[in-house]
Chains A and B, each alone.
Chain A
Amino acid sequence: MDKRIWAVGGGKGGTGKSFVAASLGLHLASLDRDIVLVDLDLGAPNLHTLLGVKSSHPDLGDFLTGRVASLEEAASPTPWGGLRIVRGTENILFVANMNHYRKLRLLRQIRQLRARNVILDLGTGSAYNTLDFFLSANPGVVVITPEPTAIENAYLFLKSCIMRVLKLYMDHYKIPDLHRKMLDQIEKNSQSLYAFFRSLIDSDRSYGTILYRALRGFRPCLVMNRCRDERDVLLGRSVADVARRYLLIDMKYLGSVPNDDQVQASLRGLRPFVLEHRDSAAARAIRQMSEELAYSIEFTQRTPAEIRLPDT
């Protein structure tokens, strides 16, 4: 089966990651696709609330504590066709601090889910767990709003992803300490990414090529949520362009979602917005984005970056 895993993330909270994830899932389910939404916002899960799902079915916490053997058993059905959801847990505390082996097991189980599409709804911040879930998807979708705080955190999130990719490849290829020191300089912001690659390629061309290819394999998408006017739409394009130039990544601007006050009203009524207001501009934008993700040749033929997690 041709499985597709998408992750919806971004550094800042409240930008609408869960809204975008839920809406993408609902629209693709309406196209007769089998979808599993996984709430990986481990510290503050609320994807099920956006969908208005209440059930006593096992959730992610039950899988992580071993009460159910597989993640498949934790995926509960919803009233919307082929859409299932793995709810985040609210009963078990400190799940967010899962150790490395639990994370690897969870990633394996996500890949083994019996569904053609899996959408991961990630939490805020740039913790290793969040980054690894984001990097396991193809493509990862970064959701921002037209505010400096959201843009600042999105850049930080992307830089953290880049550092994570480079470190994983350095560990895998056992690249010497000299290059590790260079990487530390980037983290301390005393050297730009361009200068790092330039000096790396000058000192060892083969390592430079490996790492640059690894970086170009990281191809996230950008969604600008809550756009109020044309300037906000253009700002989304500008952010993707600046990320392409300064972070050297192949970032695609997926689109913008117009601001709609009805989203809050739907949320208060525990009803999914895209089903309640099908003809709104926001719902149309979500439909367009999900169809592009699902059917565009650019996305279907994208090969994921090969990420090997270290075993230690």
Chain B
Amino acid sequence: MIKRVEDWNYYELLNLERTASQDEIWESYQGALATYQPGSLAVYSLVTEEERALILKRIQEAFQTLRDPKTRKDYDLALLKRAPYYAPKAAFRKSIGKMEIDEAPPKKGRWSWLKRVFPRRKAAVDLRPPEDQ
């Protein structure tokens, strides 16, 4: 996935997993600071001064957010809300037989039409009151 520097989330920015511990966050932060600090050789001739300053600012924001468990939790929730929603496609509809998935779109075709028009007879429900014990 191609993303701009501005679009990287804090975990991507610091090369971290979502489950990273506080020690891992600190270690990644130190590494990122060394990479993007003023005068760093790693960005020499490839990254402009403006880009370097921007990414360094975002790295500091990322560390400030992730080091505090409360702000980190809020940020994680915000990330979850921003995550794209993929509707379930119910790919296994046929194979699971009786389990019908509500979100699955109605099937097209003659056989499906027949099944809709002539639904399967339901099992008779026993309406008798329970016997006295």
Nearest CB on B from A194, distance (A): 6
B15 near A241: Cβ-Cβ < 8 Å: yes
- Proximity bits, B34-59, A CB within 8 Å = 1, else 0: 11000011111111000000000000
Check if A152 sits within 8 Å of B42, measured CB to CB: no
A194 close to B2 (CB less than 8 A): yes
Closest B residue, CB atoms, query A245: B5
- Whether A237 and B46, one on each chain, are in contact in the complex, defined by CB atoms closer than 8 angstroms, is no
Query: Which residues of the partner chain A approach B46 to less than 8 Å between Cβ atoms?
Result: 155, 242-243, 246-247
**B122, CB-defined interface residue at 8 Å:** no
B4 within 8 A of A: yes
Taking the complex as formed, is A310 at the interface, i.e. its CB lies under 8 A from any CB of chain B?
no
Residue of B nearest to A193 (CB): B2
Interface residues of B in 88-104 (CB under 8 A from A): none
| Partner pick for B41 among A151, A241, A247, CB 8 A cutoff | A151
Q: Is the CB of A198 within 8 A of B2?
A: yes
| B-chain residues with CB within 8 Å of residue A234 when the two chains form the complex | 31, 34
> In the complex the two chains form, what is the Cα distance from A152 to B15 in whole Å?
24
Size category, B interface:
10 to 19
Closest 7 CB pairs of A and B: A238-B42, A238-B35, A152-B45, A155-B46, A148-B44, A239-B42, A242-B42
For the complex, give the distance between the alpha carbons of A248 and B3 in Å: 10
Residue with the highest number of chain A CB atoms closer than 10 Å, among B45, B46, B47: B46
A228 to B34, CA, bound (A): 17
Contacts of A151 in B (CB 8 A): 41-42, 44-45
| 8 Å CB interface, B1-20 against A | 2, 4-5, 15
Given contacts A234-B34, A238-B31, A238-B35, is CB(A146)–CB(B41) below 8 Å? yes
Q: Is chain A's interface secondary structure helix, strand, loop, or mixed overall?
A: helix
Which positions 214-243 of chain A face chain B at CB distance < 8 Å? Answer: 231, 234-235, 237-239, 241-243
B41/A148 in contact, CB under 8 A: yes
Does the CB pair A242–B43 fall under 8 Å? yes
Across the A-B interface, how many residue pairs have beta carbons closer than 8 Å?
49
Chain A residues with CB under 8 Å of B47's CB are 242, 246
Residue among A147, A151, A231 having the largest count of chain B Cβ atoms under 10 Å: A151
A133 CB-CB contact with B under 8 Å = no
Q: What are 6 A-B pairs at a CB distance below 8 A?
A: A151-B42, A194-B4, A198-B2, A234-B34, A239-B41, A241-B42
Query: Would B41 and A235 count as touching, CB distance under 8 A?
Result: yes
Which residues, 41 to 88 on B, are CB-close (under 8 Å) to A? 41-47
CB nearest to B30 among chain A residues: A234
Contacts of B31 in A (CB 8 A): 234, 237-238, 241
| B4 proximity list for chain A (CB < 8 A) | 194
Question: Do A238 and B2 form a contact, CB below 8 Å, given A151-B42, A155-B46?
Answer: no
How far in angstroms is the closest Cβ of chain B from A245? Answer: 8
Nearest residue, chain A, Cβ from B55: A245
Residues of B within 8 A of A146 (CB): 41
CB neighbours of A238 from chain B (8 A): 31, 34-35, 40, 42
A234 to B5, CA, bound (A): 22
Nearest B residue (CB) for A156 = B45
Give Cα distance in the complex from A251 to B47, angstroms: 17
Within 8 A of B (CB), among A244-290: 245-248
The chain A residue with its CB closest to the CB of B37 is A238
Residues of B within 8 A of A152 (CB): 44-45
Docked Cα-Cα span, A151 to B43, in Å, equals 9
**Given contact pairs A155-B46, A237-B31, a sample of 18 additional A-B residue pairs in the complex whose CB atoms are under 8 Å apart:** A147-B41, A151-B44, A151-B45, A152-B45, A156-B45, A198-B2, A234-B34, A235-B42, A238-B31, A238-B34, A238-B35, A239-B42, A241-B31, A241-B35, A242-B46, A243-B46, A245-B5, A246-B46
Docked Cα-Cα span, A242 to B44, in Å, equals 10
- In the complex, what's the smallest C-beta–C-beta distance from A13 to chain B, in angstroms? 17
